[in-house]
Amino acid sequence: MSELVIKNLHVHVEGTEILKGVDLTVRKGEIHAIMGPNGTGKSTLAYALMGHPNYEVTEGEATFKGGRILELAPDERSHLGLYLAFQYPVAIPGVTVANFLRTAINAHRKAADPEDKGIPIPEFRKMLKERMNLLKMDHSFAGRYLNEGFSGGEKKRAEVLQMAVLKPEIAILDETDSGLDIDALRIVSEGVNALRGGDFGAMVITHYQRILNYIQPDFVHVMLHGRVVESGGPELALLLEEQGYDWLREKYGEAA
């Protein structure tokens, strides 16, 4: 069974312990929302899982499909079927969205089979069209230079398209908590909803309690002070929408 299992994960950033023992299991086919106030370590969890060098794992373990992943390079984790949507994607002048996606697919194919000659162009075009239709995207998008002059929403669309094309088994989507991004959240949620099914699982990280307006998670987890303190179903997100995060701070103290 394809599952991401996180056990007692401790992570330091620049010498400070940010994650203080996170436990979480995400199976293929399940959508998990990770919520919590700003500064509680949600992004730290996403970066540590994908192997960002500034995030030092000091204790604990993460496995994917039974194999340890924390020793692997980020691209190796990706080839296994994990996907991390970057909060701030970079512009690549001169490279179209389509070319970028084809390169990404070919890297995955080559990792699975060193003899692979790359996806044939007609097959790629057909698949790209299908995926763009699924996401209700204008086909002209594929011909634009990646992230060059993209609006915030268009960057999100590029990210979601990348996910739809790479078809990860588990995607980790981290949303910024700064202004503007209810719109981004909507774009990402629609993408997740379109991909939803037995072959796709996701960890959707968000500050917004209103996530239920966009996506129906199977599980909701709340992080506080570097730990997952509450887990439940969609009713937990409703409770947060009604009551905010203050009751959690009272229940678990200012710095657990």
Q: Does 87 bind ligand ADP (CB under 6 A)?
A: no
Question: Which of 38, 103, 133, 151: binder of ligand ADP (CB under 6 A)?
Answer: 38
Measured from the CB atom, the residue of 124 and 252 that comes closer to ligand ADP is 252
On whether the CB atoms of residues 207 and 37 are closer than 8 A, the answer is yes
Q: Does 39 bind ligand ADP (CB under 6 A)?
A: yes
Options 13-21, 104-112, 132-140, 236-244: segment touching ligand ADP (CB under 6 A): 13-21
Query: Which of Mg ion, ligand ADP, none does residue 243 bind (CB under 5 to 8 Å by kind)?
Result: none
Where do we find the tokens 């296994």?
80
Query: Which of Mg ion, ligand ADP, none does residue 25 bind (CB under 5 to 8 Å by kind)?
Result: none
Distance CA 109, CA 126 (A): 17
Q: Does 147 bind Mg ion (CB under 5 A)?
A: no
Distance CA 206, CA 211 (A): 8
Distance CA 26, CA 4 (A): 5
Instruction: Return the percent helix, strand and coil in the chain, to nearest 5.
Output: 40, 25, 35
CA 119, 125, 127, 128 torsion-angle sign:
positive
Q: What DSSP designation does 228 have?
A: E
Question: Which of 4, 40, 43, 195: binder of Mg ion (CB under 5 A)?
Answer: 43
Measured from the CB atom, the residue of 16 and 140 that comes closer to ligand ADP is 16
Query: Which of Mg ion, ligand ADP, none does residue 38 bind (CB under 5 to 8 Å by kind)?
Result: ligand ADP
Q: Does 162 bind Mg ion (CB under 5 A)?
A: no
On whether the CB atoms of residues 69 and 82 are closer than 8 A, the answer is yes
Binding site for ligand ADP (CB under 6 A): 13-14, 18, 36, 38-44, 54, 177
